[in-house]
Amino acid sequence: MSKQDIWQGTLALMVLKTIELMGPQHGYGIARRIEQTSGHQLLVNYGTLYPALLKLEQEGYLTSYWDTSDNNRRAKYYKLTRTGKRRIEKATAEWEQATEILARFLSPGEA
Amino acid sequence: MVTLGEVLIALRGLEKSYPQGSGRSWVLRQIHAEIRAGEFVSIMGPSGAGKSTLLHILGMHDAEWDGEYHFLGTAVHALKPKHRSELHKAHIGFVFQSYHLLDDLTVAENLEVPLSYRDVGRKERQARVADTLDRFQIVGKKDLYPGQLSGGQQQLVGVARAVIANPQVILADEPTGNLHSEQGREIMELFTRLNAAGTTIVQVTHSETNAAYGRRIIHLRDGHVVQPEESQVHAAQA
Amino acid sequence: MFRRLRASWRRLLATLGGDLHGEREITDELRSHLDHHIEDNLRAGMTRDVAERAARVHAGGLGQTVEQVRDRRGLAWLDSLTQDVHCAARSARRRPKFAVVAVLTLAIGIGTTTALFSLVYAVLLNPFNYEGADRTVNLSLLTDTGAPQGVFLTADQLTQLRRASVVEDAVATDAFGMTLTGGDLPEYARTLFYSLNGPGFLGIRPVLGRIFTEADTLGGGTPARVVILSYAFWRSRFAGATDVVGRTVQLDRTPYTIIGVAPPGFGGDILVPLDMGSDPSHAWSGGMVRLKPGTDLSAAQSELQALMTGFAAESPQRFPPGFRVRVSRLIEGRRAASFALPLVVSFAAAVLLLVVTCVTVSVLSLARGAARLRELAVRQAIGASRWRLVRQLMAESLVLALAGAGAGIAFAYWGTPRALKWLPPNSFPDVAETVYVSGPVLLFGVGLALLTSVLSGLSPALTLSRRRVGGLFQAAMVLVSDADHGRAHQVLVAAQVAFTVLLLAGTGAGVRSLLALLNTPLGYDPSNVLVVSANLPLGSYREWAARATFFEQLRARIASTPQVDAAGMSIYGGVPPRMGWRSLVEVPGRTVPPGMHPIVHRVSPEYFAALRIPVLRGRVWSAAEGQRATGVAVVTQGMARAFWPGADPIGQRIHVPELARSSSQFVLAAPGADGWMEVVGVVGDTPNIGLHDAPAPAMYVPHTVMLGDGAVFAIRTTGAEPLALLRTVREQMQAISPGQAVAQARTAQDALDAGGWARERFVVFLLSGFGVLALVLAVVGLFSVVSFSVARRVREFGIRLALGARRTTIATLALRPLAWSIAAGLVVGVALSTVANALLARWSIGDLTDPVVLKVAWLVHKFNEIAAADGFVPIEVNPSAGD
Ligand SMILES: Nc1ncnc2c1ncn2[C@@H]1O[C@H](COP(=O)(O)OP(=O)(O)O)[C@@H](O)[C@H]1O
Ligand SMILES: [Mg+2]
């Protein structure tokens, strides 16, 4: 697995989770929210965000539609599908398991 | 993320029947079984016992049955057809008894089809097809049509097609049924290698020799799973 | 599934809009992202400059992202589309029989529909390739009784009209024949006269040379003697020679210089500048006006009404009292014309045929799908989603439809001009020049291909892609019937039967209406009659006596020709089914009801013998009476009945004011004519206002009463083929008057054809052709369905046969499932025919619900069933092996 892949994989989960928490959101809103949640340790630019959104849409986890945003601009909104919700559950479980395993390696003393 | 030994397939009270006259004729009855990830299992039993029926259910080609089927923790019996097809696409490779290659496509194209159904990009597709042709030593046949191949060669392509998308489990219905013993042995060795690399194998076979490649045998008789002793008793009676 | 469909649809639209990779959409999205960010920054107190820069830096490279997204989005679906199309082409090549049948079937549908569309397009949708044709209107006057009448203006009035505030430009036009000399025999040229601004007004872009403009004068307002050739005339008379420009031609014995050649679509043979002169007594039709952009018709109408009222004060004789100005778009005239409805009906029939072909291909694909279930099941087993299979199957029907469209359009391209040759000229205006497979028509054809691929492919695709994998690998399953499959088939067959019945009903109705037309008694004998018209050179024989003598000399000379039995003459109007024109009459002691305008036709006494119109009572005037222009008349039976019911028409007097004085410079009234006529005889009725209407009351008067500048000769041969005499007749005319051309020559039978017989025949021919094709397709469809169901039940039938069942029993068994479909199709077809009948009631065609028509349809379907039943025996049975 390359670094990019990890980032892509976790970004996808962050995106899905963000939309799950906030409801339908446009790209900018998602980016801001992720940056905020990460305490501004992450910087989300176009190049990482939009390919990821498109991929999620193509995989059927998200759907999109155009709408006007709060400040009256047209924006493309992304919405979670039912498959998307299931995907979050599964990915969350996997992620927890993986981090747990990794944690055992990183701090063997506690095991 | 699959850890070794996790339950891959779990069947509880699986039943299959066809309408017959005013009643129903049962093909599978109360099947309970568990197959763990990484296993190499053979299903054996006399003709008409329901082996193919069971394998097609496992392969999610057949949706009309009763009971419970869990695949990697997902309740298959509760899934909508669309999700079932996604699940099977993601994890299963199937080898048919009578090959079922697509007659209009060349060998290379036959191998490419499962990849394109999984939205693998064009370049990557070509790379993997070349790789697989190489691995199965059928590079020379890549532009031939199935009709131009012998039975053994067709089955080899069938197996190659089943593994090309790197499935977690391979279901094979009498993969060597139409092959002579040398070709059969090659395929069994291939399965063994795949199994060693982590792929779960479930095969239907009539041959004890082939079954010996696996680590466990599920005996099927008149639609029931039977214990080995029972099976032998039955065999002695027959 | 529908979500995916919608997404693809959106992507397809984006692609058609030139947004192949969703580039516009992603750019929009990123733009909106940036705007949101900038706004936030501004709100945080940054200056605009800083806010924009910060947002840009934060967001990263725009171009690169667009590229990345484009790769992901565009290529994935393009890639699998090419794959599907590639695969479809391959499968067509490997099963050529099915492909050929399907492509041919679709080619028939698309070809006929495209061909008829090209006709509809050229005749009704885009007939005027003039500049600003949509703003160009016909100006006419309505009399107080509502009868339309032309507008005639002097040169000065035209200038005023052109300056009116709603008017962009206006032209004066005229049209009549001129004689072109210089060839073997003098020739007649249909001449369109336009005021000098005409060619510019029409936006004629010459294919050779130039057009005439207001600069082409000889001084003093007299236009130069120049001529533009029409495209068709240039091709036929000058063999398309590229060096015609600059040549001199003789028109009515005056030299004119050819300055250019017009592109197709402007009609006539030649275009010549109209000499309006400065004499205020000369008036010319000033009917064509282009309004300024954005002018609405009612505004134009009221302004022009004011202008015309002013003109009427200057020249009251050309404006009827209490007239109203009517302004109507050019296209409206076209759409109201008699050829519009038959054309639209034929086009509708072609569309119906196209639908039948689509349904047929659906049925065929479905039946073929039975043989493909295994392949489709395998594809599902190795991971194809239903959506993906639908796409693959749709790609297949798209490939077939495109191939069909290619063949069909080629067929239309080749066939349309050839088919039109069957029509007498003028059945549809100017079609010879303008009907061809043009850009819009081609686009229409491609659109049809897309439509047919959906129509013919969607139902099989949805049916075949239904998930049913499991059972298919079990041997026993292969031949067992599949309910879904069966239902789709039944619906399609019913649809096919219904549309076929509808087409057949239309055909039957058309045939009956043609028969009715052919059975209408004509009242004269059209066989062996040559009809020749000759026009005087412009401005010649200006004296009544000289002109009368000249015409009589011509007639006598023709009558004396060997093989000629009788030769009659008439002024204008010619021979049935259209002749003379309606005139106002007064009858002493009676009030003629308003709107009762009988047809007045001016003829020589031999006319009745030449056409064999029976004299029922009294007599026809003598040759001597004719020479003297005696005030006598012969009326038709219909006129006698309408004007003097229960009284003897002979001896009655009738006044035709129109015949009292010359109404224009082209006609010469007999000296001392007062328009009073005495009825001396009664003749039989003949069609005179077209074939579709009963003859109007009519009266014949001596042609000498009011001579025109041309004459039409009706020449009965002693039995010789009329057109074979044409050369002799032309030579006879030459002998009397060197340079005298024949304007038009045809047989009386041709006149009947042109009057509607031929068009009616053509439409009926088309409809019957479509009906027969639809029938054949229905048989093909039923055949494939029957063979499909037989293939599924072959074992059962085999056993039954072995047990001694007869073949007819088996046939009944095989057909029973279809009987309901056929019955339902018939019922729906009859219902549709009733609806169509109501819609078509305006057209004078037969009744679509006529029991005879339906009986025919029913019989045909009986035949169909039998054909299908017989057809099932030779079907190969190929039970495929399962696991
Ligand atoms: N469509 C069907 N309708 C009725 N019975 C069927 C059908 N398909 C299979 N069977 C029956 O199911 C039983 C099991 O078949 P199968 O699974 O193919 O057996 P095996 O593969 O063990 O030889 C057989 O008795 C067969 O006759
Ligand atoms: Mg089997």
* Residue spans per domain, chain B: 38-63+82-237
State the closest ligand 1 atom to the C-alpha of C883, by its place in the atom list counted from 1.
18
Tell whether C171 is covered by a domain.
yes
Q: Are residues C668 and C608 in the same domain?
A: yes
CA distance B229 to B223: 17
Q: Could you give the CA distance from residue C157 to residue C282 in angstroms, rounded to a whole number?
A: 11
Q: Quick one: pLDDT at residue B34?
A: 93
The answer to whether B1 contacts chain A (CB < 8 Å) is yes
Other CB atoms within a 10 A radius of the CB of residue A94 amount to: 14
Q: How far apart are CA A49 and CA C68, in angstroms?
A: 11
Contact, C427 vs C754, CB < 8 A? Answer: yes
Q: Are residues C226 and C354 in the same domain?
A: no
Average pLDDT per consecutive 10 residues, chain C (883 residues; last block may be shorter):
52 52 72 86 85 76 61 62 81 83 90 87 77 82 76 84 89 77 69 87 88 85 88 85 88 87 83 77 72 87 90 80 84 75 83 88 80 79 82 87 91 82 65 64 84 82 69 45 62 84 78 73 89 82 91 92 92 79 82 76 94 94 92 94 90 90 79 92 89 85 90 91 87 82 80 74 78 81 73 66 68 73 83 75 50 52 50 34 37
Of C75, C382, C881, the CB nearest to B113: C382
Asked if the Cβ–Cβ distance from C65 to A51 is below 8 Å, we say: yes
Q: Which helix (H) or strand (E) holds C569?
A: strand C564-570
**Residues from chain C contacting residue A70 (CB–CB below 8 Å):** none
CB C641 within 8 A of CB C600: no
Q: What is the DSSP string of C424-465?
A: PTTSSTTHHHH-S--HHHHHHHHHHHHHHHHHHHHHHHHHHT
Question: Atom 1, ligand 1: which residue's CA is nearest?
Answer: C477
Q: Which residue of A has its CA nearest to C25?
A: A76
Residue C616 structural domain? 529-718
Candidates A58, A83, A98; nearest CB to B1: A98
Residues C229 and C363 in one domain: no
Nearest to B89 among C75, C377, C383 (CB): C383
Note which residues in 378-407 of chain C have CB less than 8 A from chain B: 378-386, 388
* C457 neighbors C396 (Cβ within 8 angstroms): yes
Q: Are A54 and C72 in contact (CB under 8 A)?
A: yes
Tell me the chain A residues in contact with residue B1 when contact means C-beta distances shorter than 8 Å: 94, 97-98
Nearest-atom index, ligand 1, CA of B20: 4
Q: What is the pLDDT of residue C877?
A: 31
Q: Determine the pLDDT at residue C553.
A: 92
Return the number of CB contacts < 8 Å for A and B: 5
Residue B238 Cα, gap to closest chain C Cα (Å): 24
Give CA–CA dist C311/C318, Å, rounded: 9
Q: Do C30 and A29 touch (CB under 8 A)?
A: no
Task: Give the ligand 1 atom nearest the CA of B204.
Answer: 21
Residue that is last in its domain, among C18, C53, C74: C74
Q: How many domains does chain C have?
A: 4
Sign of CA dihedral B187, B193, B196, B200: negative
Q: In CATH, what is the architecture of A4-110?
A: Orthogonal Bundle (1.10)
Residues on chain C touching A69 (C-beta within 8 angstroms):
32, 36
Asked whether residue C550 falls in the same domain as residue C648, the answer is yes
Which residue of chain A is at minimal alpha-carbon distance from C70? A51
A98 interface with B at CB cutoff 8 Å: yes
Q: Nearest C-alpha of chain C: how many angstroms from A96?
A: 30
- Cβ(C843)–Cβ(C345) under 8 Å? yes
Q: What percent of chain A has pLDDT over 90?
A: 7
Q: In chain B, which residue's Cα lies nearest the Cα of C80? A: B116
Q: Which CATH architecture has domain B38-63+82-237?
A: 3-Layer(aba) Sandwich (3.40)
- C653 and C615 housed in the same domain: yes
B98:C470 CB<8 A? no
Q: Which residues of chain B have pLDDT under 70?
A: 1-5, 228-238
**Is residue B83 within 8 angstroms of chain A, CB to CB?**
yes
Which distant-in-sequence residues (6+ apart) come within 8 Å of C631 by Cβ?
C673, C674, C675, C676, C677, C678, C701, C705
Q: CB of A40 within 8 Å of any CB in chain C?
A: no
* Chain C residues inside the 8 Å CB shell of B96: 378, 381, 473, 883
- If you count them, how many residues does chain B have? 238
Domain boundaries, chain A: 4-110
Q: Tokens for C818, please give them.
A: 């279809």
Report ipTM (2 d.p.): 0.84
And the tokens for A97? 């398991």
Give me the pLDDT at residue C481, please. 39
Looking at the partner chain, which of A58, A83, A97 has a beta carbon nearest the beta carbon of B1?
A97
Closest ligand by atom to B46 CA: 1
Q: Which residues of A touch B83 (CB under 8 A)?
A: 83
C-chain CB neighbours of A26 within 8 Å are 32-33, 36
Q: Do A58 and B1 touch (CB under 8 A)?
A: no
Judgement on whether residues C290 and C166 belong to the same structural domain of the protein: yes
Q: Write the DSSP string, C92-153.
A: HHHSHHHHHHHHHHHHHHHHHHHHHHHHHIIIIIS---STTGGGEEEEEEE-TTS-EE--EE
User: Ligand 1 centroid vs B173 CA: distance in angstroms?
Assistant: 14
Please name the residue of chain B whose CA is at the shortest distance from the CA of residue C385: B85
Chain C residues with CB-CB distance to A54 below 8 A: 69, 72-73
Task: Work out the angle at residue C597's Cα, subtended by the Cα atoms of residues C594 and C602, and round it to the nearest 5 degrees.
Answer: 160
Tokens of C331: 């296209």
Tokens of C524: 């004269």
Chains in contact with A, counting 3 or more C-beta pairs less than 8 Å apart as contact: B, C
User: φ, ψ for residue C328 (rounded to 5)?
Assistant: -135, 140
CA C376 to chain centre: 46
Q: Which residue in C has a C-alpha nearest to residue B163's C-alpha? A: C382
Q: Which chains touch B (3 or more CB pairs under 8 A)?
A: A, C
Tell me the nearest-neighbour CA distance from A94 into chain B, angstroms. 6
Q: Separation of C149 CA from ligand 2 center, angstroms?
A: 90
Partners of C285 in the β-ladder: C152, C173
What is the structure's pLDDT at C878?
Answer: 31
Binary contact (B1, A83; C-beta < 8 A): no
Q: Is the CB of B52 under 6 A from ligand 1?
A: yes
Closest alpha carbon to C27 in C59, C66, C53, C61: C66
Q: Which amino acid is at C382?
A: I
**How far away, in angstroms, is C877 Cα from ligand 2 center?**
24
C535 and C513 fall within a common domain: no
Residues C153 and C243 placed together within one structural domain of the fold = yes
CB pair distance less than 8 Å for C36 and A50: no
Helix residue ranges, H only, C465-482: 469-472
Report the C-alpha gap between C118 and C115 in whole angstroms: 5
Residue C246 domain-assigned? yes
**pLDDT value at residue B1:** 35
Residue in chain B nearest C82 by alpha carbon: B122
Distance C473 CA to ligand 2 centre (A): 9
The CB of B48 under 6 Å from ligand 1? The reply is yes
CA distances from B86 to A60, A84, C278, C387, C585 (A): 11, 13, 88, 12, 88
Chain C residues touching A28 at Cβ < 8 A: 32-33, 36-37
Omega before residue C577 within 30° of 0, cis? yes
Look at residue C476 in the predicted model and tell me its pLDDT.
36
**Within a domain: residue C212?**
yes
Question: Which two three-digit tokens encode residue C411?
Answer: 């067929």
Q: To 10 degrees, what angle do helices C297-314 and C155-163 make? A: 150
* CA-based torsion, C90, C95, C99, C100: positive or negative: positive
- b/e map of C378-410 (b: 16 or more CB within 10 Å)? bbbbbbbbbbbbbbbbbbbbbbbbbbbbbbbbe
Alpha helices by DSSP H, A1-111: 3-22, 27-37, 46-58, 82-106
Classify burial at B12, counting beta carbons within 10 Å of its beta carbon; exposed 0-12, middle 13-18, buried 19 or more: middle
* pTM of the predicted model as reported, rounded to 2 decimal places: 0.67
Q: Would you state the structure tokens that stand for residue C33, as one six-digit string?
A: 């992202």
Q: Are residues C582 and C454 in the same domain?
A: no
CA B110 from centre of chain: 18
Radius of gyration, CA atoms only, chain A: 16
Interhelix angle C386-420/C340-381, nearest 10 degrees? 150
Residue B175's Cβ-side half-sphere holds a number of Cα atoms within 13 Å equal to 32
H helix runs in C256-385, sequence order: 297-314, 330-336, 340-381
Nearest CB neighbour to B1, from listed A58, A83, A94? A94
Q: Is some CB atom of chain C closer than 8 A to the CB atom of A50?
A: yes
- Which residues line ion ligand 2, judged by CB < 5 Å? B 52
Cβ distance of B98 and C87 shorter than 8 Å:
no
C314 and C185 part of one domain: yes
Is the dihedral angle over the CA atoms C457, C463, C467, C472 positive or is it negative?
negative
Residue with CA at minimum distance from ligand 1 atom 9 = C474
Amino acid identity of C385?
S
Q: Is C91 on the interface with B (CB under 8 A)?
A: yes
For residue C160, give the nearest of C289, C272, C299, C277 by alpha carbon.
Answer: C289
Hey, how many other C-beta atoms are within 10 angstroms of the C-beta on C9? Answer: 11
- Asked if A79 has any chain C CB less than 8 Å from its own CB, the reply is no
Instruction: Give CA angle at C305 (C304, C309), nearest 5°.
Output: 115
Is residue C263 included in any domain, yes or no? Answer: yes
**Residues C375, B82: C-beta atoms closer than 8 Å:** no
B116/C382 Cβ within 8 A: no
The residue whose C-alpha atom lies closest to atom 14 belonging to ligand 1 is: B50
